[in-house]
Amino acid sequence: MEASVSGEQTGAARWLSVHDDLLRGLTHALSNRVGTLSAVAYMVEMQPATVGASVATLRAEAERLEAVLQLMRLLPRKADATAEPVIPTDTTTQAVALQSYHPNLGDVAVVVTLDGDLQPAYADPAVLVMAVTLILGAAQRAVRGAGRVDVTISSSTEVVRIRACGVGVDGTPGHADADSARDVDAVNWLLAPFDGSGAPDAAGAVVSIPTLQAARRARHG
């Protein structure tokens, strides 16, 4: 019991640390977007003839601003989060987009591969995005910023697995650092209410979550 409580505390603390890093990156992106909008507004005010050319810039910036806001809405963790069918590729796409704003790791490329036909997962979508973001960070740190992350999504009738593995520039797997164990603790803390879990990997980590089919069988006992 004590070990379980310790793991939960470590996991919660780890997620808060990663959460703060992501929030810092997103607020920096928001600041850039607002700065651009202010600059365009000033240009229009000083040179009214540029209104036509500025409309396209304003529209593009508004779309970028909306994209950042959508990602920011994923960060608050809801105490009453409930499970629903989730398409694992959609979740992974959102996690990759969110992680791209990490101030220290966002430049490490991510390549996503599907391994066979995929079953829908069953979890809270935002929580699963958080969990995948954590393993992306573990894999990115495994290559020390020089390489890429290979994400493989696979499933059986029981479990959807999302594996993130850091690959160096020479094609060899990276090496997970000490914080990766804390990332796994955080994944376990986040996914425990949905019967999901995390596991360490030599160059990253793995998220496992029940399929919709398995969750339905469990509910009907």
Distance of CA 158 to the CA centre of its chain: 23
* Predicted local confidence at residue 52, as pLDDT: 64
The pLDDT of residue 38 is 77
Q: Which two tokens stand for residue 78?
A: 């809801």
Return the closest-CA partner of residue 166 out of 183, 153, 150, 178: 150
CA 59, 65, 67, 70 dihedral sign is negative
Predicted local distance difference test score (pLDDT) of residue 49:
61
Look at residue 58 and tell me whether its pLDDT is greater than 50: yes
131-150 pLDDT tens trace: 999 999 999 999 987 899 99
pLDDT at residue 196 tops 50: yes
Residues 6+ apart with CB under 8 A from 156: 119, 211
**For the segment 184-195, what is each residue's pLDDT rounded down to a tens digit?**
999 999 999 999
The encoded tokens of residue 47 equal: 């040179």
82 or 80: which carries more pLDDT confidence?
Answer: 82
Cβ contact 118:154 at 8 Å: yes
pLDDT at 2 over 50: no
> Confidence class of residue 1 from pLDDT cuts 50, 70 and 90?
very low
User: In this structure, how many other beta carbons lie within 10 angstroms of the beta carbon of residue 29?
Assistant: 19
Angle at 119 between CA 118 and CA 123, to 5 degrees: 125
Is the pLDDT reported for residue 26 higher than 80? Answer: yes
Residues 133 and 98: beta-carbon distance below 8 Å: yes
Q: Is 100 exposed, middle or buried (0-12, 13-18, 19+ CB in 10 A)?
A: middle
Return the percentage of the chain with pLDDT > 70, whole number. 90
> Token pair of 132, please?
């995948």
Read off the pLDDT of each residue in 157-175 and give the average, rounded to a whole number.
95
Question: Hey, what are 195's tokens?
Answer: 């019967």
Give pLDDT tens digits for 88-100. 999 999 999 999 9
Cβ pair 124, 81 in contact under 8 A: yes
Question: Residue 183 region, left (φ>0) first, then alpha (ψ -120 to 50), else beta?
Answer: alpha
